Structure 1
Amino acid sequence: MERLQRNAYGEQSTRRARLTIGALGILAILIAGIVALFSLYYADQGHRQTVQTLQDLDEASREAGTAQVAFKRQVQEWKNLLLRGHDAQDYTRYRVAMQAQSERVETALAALASAPGTPAALAERASAARALHERIQADYEAAAAAFEEAGRRDPVAVDARVRGVDRELDQALDALAEQLRAALGKALQEARVAAERRYEALHKVVLFAHGLGIGLLALLLLLALRDPGGRKPVGRG
């Protein structure tokens, strides 16, 4: 009788152990799934933020490049005006072209100064470059007006009025474009490193949670292979 009671008690204990371990295994698997989902969510959020940062920096870099190229073309149109502007029609054409490039410079620098991807220090330099460009444009306009008033006959004397005024801005725009390209390159490298770290962290978390679940299920299977009393069968003696 006592032996039957012990066997019944052992069987109940084993059943409870199996149920507990089974429940823990299922819970571990559920936790692994939940952790994986949250990890994927945060990885996706990090990826989206990284992509937005890179897009903003790329936009700022392109605006700097636009300003850089447009100002060089503006200076070239000024040279065209002096060399070929003795004809009234050509004078008007080159002056309009010069004004169009000037507006492109203004628009690009304004966008660069206010772009979310422009670092604060470079945004200040973009604003300073824009103010400098406005002064240079005023000098060009005054020189072009003087050239027209003089009958468009003495380009050398007119050019002397603005000789070298473009150099400071040209160098500033080149530096801005180069610094933004460098910032974009650095951001791309940091994005790659951050993505690798997020992947490694997610991989470790998921492996740990699944390993825990598999371990508990293996323990449950081991108990299931034992006899209800938890004892190995013995041979007859």
Structure 2
Amino acid sequence: MNIQIRLMAIAIFFVLLTGLSALYLLNSVQRAEDTALQEQQLLFSATLAIEEAHTQFKIQIQEWKNLLLRGKNLQAYETYLGAFNRQSNLVQEHLATARIAFDSNSQPQINELIIRHKKLAETYLKTLNNAKLDTLNNIEILDKSIQGIDRPFDNLFPELIKNLSRSFQNKTLQDNQKHAEASQHYILWISFCVIISTLFIIASFWTAIKTTRKDNFNH
């Protein structure tokens, strides 16, 4: 009888262990999934922010051209200059959003973009302050003096967006692989506990049956 009790106690222990392990592993897998999802969302948000910053930068350059071509009177000048500055602020805002989504190792790359954009905007405004837009000739001279200075900065975006998209895809693939491995380990461990519990339960019942038969035989 003592053996039967011990076997049943061990079986109950493994049943409890199975339940607790299932809860713990399920919680661990869920936490890992939540963390991975947050990281993926941040990376995706960074990609969208960089794309939007690139779009707003192109609009900013267009506003600059509008300023040169149409800002001949004070009202038009202030309107297009205001539009240029607003676009500049939007670019900075989207770059700042992207920086938040980057880890500490990648943030310097975004910081460099922010600094370069600020310097570029300052160059445009400084050139504008030292020029006159009263004649077509002056406008052409001003335009030629800074022609193409936006291209090096503009060319940074496609490669950066491409790298971000690749990083997002790789991150998603790695997280899926980790999830599959964790799920496999989870299933193996639970299966092991269930098998052990079942064996001890069977052994306990078998011992009980043998003991009962023995007692009946003795009587």
Range class of TM-score, shorter chain: 0.7 to 0.9
Distance, in Å, in 1 between the alignment partners of 2:113 and 2:25 is 44
Q: CA deviation at 1:99?
A: 0.8
Correspondence for 1:159 among 143, 160, 171: 143
Structure 1 partner of 2:14: 28
Distance, in Å, in 1 between the alignment partners of 2:44 and 2:139 is 40
The answer as to whether partners of 1:146 and 1:158 remain within 8 angstroms in 2 is no
Correspondence for 2:36 among 50, 58, 65: 50
What CA deviation, in whole Å up to 9, does each residue of 1:105-163 have, x standing for no partner?
Answer: 122223433x1x3144532222122221122111211233345x342534322111210
Correspondence for 1:125 among 105, 109, 132: 109
What CA deviation, in whole Å up to 9, does each residue of 1:38-60 have, x standing for no partner?
Answer: 11122122122212212222232
Pick the structure with greater CA Rg.
Answer: 1
Q: Secondary structure at the match of 1:86?
A: coil
Q: Secondary structure at the match of 2:155?
A: helix
Q: CA deviation at 1:87?
A: 4.5
Structure 1 partner of 2:66: 80
Are residues 1:192 and 2:176 paired?
yes
Structure 1 partner of 2:190: 206
Distance, in Å, in 2 between the alignment partners of 1:204 and 1:225 is 31
Structure 2 partner of 1:182: 166
The answer as to whether partners of 1:126 and 1:176 remain within 8 angstroms in 2 is no
The answer as to whether partners of 1:35 and 1:206 remain within 8 angstroms in 2 is yes
Give the letter for the 1:26 counterpart.
I
Structure 2 partner of 1:143: 127
Give the letter for the 2:60 counterpart.
Q
Are residues 1:41 and 2:24 paired?
no
Report the identity percentage: 21
Structure 1 partner of 2:87: 101
Structure 1 partner of 2:207: 223
Ranges of 4+ aligned residues in structure 1 off by more than 6 Å: none
Distance, in Å, in 1 between the alignment partners of 2:189 and 2:27 is 14
- Structure 2 spans left out of the alignment, 5+ residues: none
Flag the 1:161–1:230 CA change in 2: closer, same or farther, 3 A: farther
Flag the 1:227–1:135 CA change in 2: closer, same or farther, 3 A: closer
Flag the 1:78–1:27 CA change in 2: closer, same or farther, 3 A: same
- Structure 1 spans left out of the alignment, 5+ residues: 1-14
The answer as to whether partners of 1:68 and 1:177 remain within 8 angstroms in 2 is no
Structure 2 partner of 1:9: none
The answer as to whether partners of 1:61 and 1:180 remain within 8 angstroms in 2 is yes
RMSD between aligned alpha carbons? 2.2
